[in-house]
Structures are given as structure tokens and as C-alpha cells.
């Protein structure tokens, strides 16, 4: 049985154990984007700098994200249901719209990276042009279509199928990762890989925007990358225990990214030492696997891993739609199908970018401005303002404890948009800020303070009116 965004998952349907959650998130976070990120990390200060970002920054940034899982377990609600406590019954429509941006945005990026893997497979099988060959545009459209069809099939099958797929993907990805890491280290040894550092600042571009890769910028991108795993609540609500739904995802996601970020960093350094050119896109797992002589089988594993992760993204997007269309007689299975179809034309947008790195960074910049204030408000509201207490009123369509003012908590909405403007301002209007102290950390601090101040006044007025009555 599948549950829409506004259905509470009962105890009898909570089938995900700690081990299931660990494997699910290990599989979900083992995807081509992580490889590319590791390559970006190495572009700052080589492997030494990448280790700081991977083991320190990455781990710390996952802690707040994991606590979103605790809210989902405690309430039995999806990610778009738990935001009702802060934004209101109707006000949650705004985060739901952003939720679609996150789900479909990640789907676009992953479809493109999956299509890259498929391009190498078909080149080895049929001689068709790959992503790095001339005249590949219409072939890439075909590759994108195939990826969309495969991931759509598994998404429509639901959460149990996705769980099984992640188990299979994890097994094969572990084998591939061990083998690729072994080949890289055996060829060069540890010392040359650790000694390499870039002789220039890496940058990505999209249109008029150029992104120099500094330590502060990479902190922003790590937070954006980790916090845009928006469907933690969608699957943590199926957990058997609070530990399973909180620390299962935390450990699974961390260990996966420890490994795959590092594999991506090692791969790009290996290719740089071999070719003399630093190119993050060349460290994409499918390209690296072919370069290392692992052939189409390795690229097929990469493709499969991408499809399993994107099936979860489409599942989450359908939940966002179910909240937006609450009250309409549209089945959740229909929404899953529509999400699977809709992602294909969206994925073609990636072909318009001449720089994959620039496209990827721009995407994470955009969604970072959404998720940083959004999840900050959600966490502050649940753990500080509401003191870990959300009632089943979060599943209501009308009235109840979270009705606020005609269904809207304007305090949360104003704070959300203020945080987004602050993040974007630091990112584009005054980029010196995010190149030195980050855009995300000041945003988190200011959003927390603003929301607490405004909500304190609202709570005090509510208590005053209640006592007066």
C-alpha cells in the first residue's frame, strides 16, 4: 500500500528497519553526482583539501538533515506533511511547490548523468557517439528518454520496489567502487595522488555567471547537496523506530559519500596526472570506468545506480503533487506516472548547458537558497518552538492546531523568502560573501533568529488572548 502526502503511516505499515534505512541511503547516495562532487573537492587543494570537506564538513552538515527523519518517524508524516506544523495547513503549499523543484531538479541532473553512462554503453555496443564525441545531441535525447522510461517504471512500482532496488544497487556499486579504487591506487600509488594540487582556481560557468571554487563556496555546495535529499521524511515515516529513521539515513548517507566523494577525487587526480589536464566532467564514473578499461559493464552499474536513486526522487515529487492537489480525486499511482512522464522534457534542459559543472553548481545554488531556510525553519519550529510535539492535525485539510491565520503562518513564509533572498544576495549580488564566509551559514543564523523572534511575539499574543477569554 502506498500513502499520499497527507496520510499518516500506521505502525503496521512501518517495515523499514535500521539496516533497510542504512542500505537505502547508502544506495541512494552512491550515484554519479557524488563522483563529480569529489572531483570538485579535489579542485580546491587536491586530495588533502578534499578529505577536510568529505570527513568534516560533509558529516557535520548531515546532522540537522538526519533530525528531519526523527520528525517523520514521530509523526508518521512525509516531508511535505511535517512542514505544515510551521507553515500552516494551506501555507505548506509553498514548500510543496519548492519540493517539486527539488525532486525534479535532482531528477534532471541524475537523468543527464545516467544518460552519460548510457552513452558510453551504447558506444561500446553499437558505436554510437558518447557525450564526449561530436554530433551527439540527438543521441543524447535518446539516451535521456531510455533513462526516463526505466526510472519511471520502478518509481510507479512504489516504496517496496525502490527499497529492493537499493539493496541490489548497493551490492554492485560496492564491487565497482572497490575495483576502481584498487586500479587507481595500484597504478599511481598513494604518494603522487596525495601530492597533486591544482595550479589554478577551478571555476564553472552558466551564462553570465562564473563560480570560482573556493573553500567557502564548497561548504555551501555540500550543505545544498546534502539538504536537498528532501525525501528523507518520505521514507523515514516507514521506519520501525526513531533510531532507524534518523541515524540509519545519517550513517548510510555519510558512509556512501565518504567513499564516493573520495573515489571521485582520486579519479580526477588520476586522470589529471595521466592526461595533464584537470577536467571534473572526465571524472564522471562512466567516463572514468571506460578510461580505466572497466568497459560497458561498469557503466551499466552506474546507470542502474542512477535509476534507483531517481526512482526515489520521482516518488518524492509525486508526494509533493499529492499535497498540492489535496482534495482532488487523483490517485497516488496516477501522480507517480505523471511525475515519471513530466521529467523527460525537463531533463532536456541539461543539453542547453555547455558546461556540466556550471549547470550542476547553478542548480545547487538555486535549490540551496530554498532548502537552507526551509529546513532551518522546520527544525527550529519542531524542536524549539513546539518542543518535539506535532499532533495529527498536520494531516488535516481544514482547521485544527496548525490553521494559524486562515491556514497560513505568514511568519514562516516571510522568514522563508527572507532567507532565500539573503542566500541569493550573498551568492550573486555580493559574491565576495560566499567566497569567504559562505552564504548558507549566515542564512541559517539569521533565519533562526528571525523566526524565533517573530514566533515568540505570536505565541505571547495567543497566550494573552486565551487568558483574557
CA max distance for the chain? 79
Specify the CATH superfamily of domain 11-204+212-354. Hydantoin permease (1.10.4160.10)
Grid coordinates in use for 129? 557517439
pTM for this one? Answer: 0.84
151 by Cβ neighbours in 10 Å (0-12 / 13-18 / 19+) ranks as: buried
- Copy the grid coordinates of residue 321: 503533487
What SS3 state is found at 77?
Answer: coil
Q: Which of 441, 428, 444 is nearest to 211 (CA)?
A: 428
Rounded Cα gap, residues 434 and 440, in angstroms: 8
Three cell numbers, residue 78:
512525509
Q: 10 Å Cβ neighbour count for 48?
A: 13
Whole-number Å distance between alpha carbons of 182 and 185? 5
Grid cell, residue 95, equals 514548500
Sequence ranges of the domains in the chain: 11-204+212-354
Nearest to 164 by CA among 386, 330, 283, 15: 15
Query: Is 3 in a helix, a strand, or coil?
Result: coil
Supply the pLDDT for residue 366: 82
- The burial of 182, by beta-carbon neighbours within 10 Å (0-12 exposed, 13-18 middle, 19 or more buried), is given as exposed
Name 210's bridge partners.
205
Mean pLDDT split into 10-residue runs, the chain, 469 residues: 78 92 86 80 90 96 96 93 93 87 79 79 81 81 86 70 68 69 67 80 61 87 91 91 96 92 83 77 57 59 73 77 74 78 82 66 82 96 94 90 91 95 88 88 96 79 48
Q: Is 1 exposed, middle or buried (0-12, 13-18, 19+ CB in 10 A)?
A: exposed
Amino acid at each position: 500500500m502506498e500513502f499520499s502526502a497527507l496520510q499518516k503511516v500506521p505502525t503496521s505499515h512501518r517495515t523499514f528497519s535500521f539496516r533497510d534505512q542504512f542500505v537505502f541511503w547508502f544506495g541512494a547516495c552512491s550515484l554519479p553526482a557524488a563522483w563529480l562532487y569529489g572531483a570538485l573537492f579535489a579542485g580546491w587543494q587536491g586530495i588533502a583539501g578534499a578529505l577536510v570537506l568529505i570527513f568534516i564538513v560533509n558529516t557535520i552538515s548531515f546532522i540537522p538533515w538526519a533530525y528531519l527523519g526523527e520528525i517523520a518517524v514521530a509523526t508518521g508524516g512525509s516531508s511535505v506533511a511535517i512542514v505544515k506544523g510551521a507553515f500552516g495547513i494551506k501555507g505548506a503549499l509553498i514548500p510543496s511547490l519548492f519540493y517539486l523543484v527539488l525532486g525534479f531538479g535532482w531528477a534532471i541532473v541524475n537523468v543527464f548523468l545516467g544518460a552519460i553512462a548510457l552513452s558510453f554503453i551504447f558506444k561500446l555496443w553499437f558505436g554510437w557517439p558518447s557525450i564526449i564525441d561530436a554530433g551527439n545531441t540527438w543521441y543524447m535525447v535518446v539516451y535521456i528518454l531510455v533513462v526516463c522510461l526505466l526510472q519511471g517504471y520502478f518509481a510507479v512500482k512504489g516504496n517496496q520496489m525502490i527499497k529492493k532496488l537499493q539493496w541490489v544497487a548497493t551490492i554492485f556499486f560496492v564491487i565497482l567502487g572497490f575495483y576502481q579504487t584498487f586500479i587507481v591506487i595500484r597504478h599511481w600509488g598513494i604518494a603522487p595522488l596525495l601530492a597533486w594540487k591544482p595550479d589554478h582556481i577551478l571555476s564553472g560557468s552558466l551564462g553570465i555567471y562564473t563560480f570560482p571554487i573556493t573553500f567557502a563556496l564548497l561548504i555551501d555546495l555540500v550543505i545544498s547537496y546534502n539538504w536537498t535529499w528532501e525525501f528523507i521524511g518520505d521514507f523515514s515515516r516507514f521506519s520501525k523506530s526513531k533510531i532507524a529513521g534518523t541515524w540509519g539515513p545519517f550513517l548510510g548517507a555519510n558512509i556512501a559519500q565518504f567513499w564516493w566523494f573520495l573515489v571521485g577525487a582520486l579519479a580526477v587526480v588520476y586522470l589529471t596526472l595521466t592526461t595533464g589536464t584537470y577536467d571534473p566532467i572526465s571524472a564522471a564514473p562512466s567516463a572514468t570506468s571506460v578510461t580505466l578499461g572497466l568497459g560497458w559493464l561498469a557503466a551499466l552499474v552506474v546507470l542502474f545506480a542512477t535509476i534507483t536513486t531517481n526512482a526515489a526522487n520521482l516518488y518524492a515529487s509525486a508526494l509533493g503533487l499529492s499535497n498540492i492537489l489535496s482534495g482532488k480525486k487523483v490517485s497516488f499511482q496516477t501522480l507517480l506516472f505523471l511525475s515519471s512522464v513530466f521529467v523527460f522534457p525537463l531533463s532536456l534542459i541539461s543539453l542547453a548547458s555547455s558546461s556540466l559543472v556550471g549547470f550542476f553548481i547553478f542548480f545547487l545554488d538555486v535549490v540551496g537558497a530554498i532548502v537552507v531556510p526551509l529546513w532551518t525553519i522546520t527544525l527550529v519550529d519542531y524542536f524549539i518552538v513546539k518542543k518535539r510535539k506535532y499532533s495529527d492535525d498536520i494531516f488535516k485539510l481544514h482547521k485544527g492546531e496548525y490553521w494559524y491565520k486562515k491556514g497560513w503562518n505568514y511568519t514562516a513564509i516571510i522568514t522563508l523568502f527572507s532567507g532565500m533572498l539573503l542566500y541569493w544576495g550573498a551568492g550573486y549580488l555580493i559574491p565576495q560573501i560566499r567566497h569567504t564566509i559562505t552564504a548558507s551559514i549566515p542564512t541559517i543564523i539569521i533565519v533562526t533568529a528571525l523566526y524565533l523572534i517573530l514566533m515568540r511575539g505570536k505565541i505571547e499574543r495567543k497566550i494573552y488572548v486565551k487568558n483574557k477569554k
